[in-house]
Amino acid sequence: MATETPPPAKTPAPLPSGEEFVAEQESAEFGELRRAHRSFAFPLTGAFIAWYLLYVLLSNYAGGFMGTRLFGNVNVALVLGLAQFLTTFLIAWWYARHAAAQLDPRAEAIKSRMEGRV
């Protein structure tokens, strides 16, 4: 019975220094990446929170409206509640597309440059 020797352990790549991280954070390219993320995420987050709060406020203060039957036993509250789930999934899908097209290539370029410096 032959014993196999384990493969040699990979040595982890050295990390950039703290000064290099700070310099990269202050670079124009990193600023563009941060701006691209914030210009998408902040307005969309605000809009979703407003939409959620509208639903909560309508549920609390507009019971008659929310109880309006649309068809069968389906009322406005149920439709708006389900729309909350739909918008959550749509936002996640939209963000994934935005990240893949706009954020990931920029982040990968920064990562490659940082790893190349070491």
Q: Is residue 52 part of a domain?
A: yes
pTM of the model: 0.74
pLDDT tens track for 26-80: 889 989 999 999 999 999 999 999 999 999 999 999 999 999 999 999 999 999 9
Residue 117: its pLDDT value, please? 65
- Would the pLDDT of 19 be above 90? no
Number of neighbouring beta carbons within 10 Å of residue 33: 19
d(CA 42, CA 62): 29
* 4 assigned to some structural domain: no
Domain presence at residue 55: yes
For position 4, what pLDDT does the model report? 77
Measured between alpha carbons, how far is 2 from 94 in angstroms, rounded to an integer? 54
Domain count, the chain: 1
The answer to whether residue 17 is domain-embedded is no
Does 12 reside within a domain?
A: no
Task: Please report the pLDDT score of residue 48 as a whole number.
Answer: 95
Higher model confidence: residue 1 or residue 97? 97
Confidence grade of residue 1 (pLDDT, cut at 50, 70, 90):
low
Range of the domain at 58: 28-117
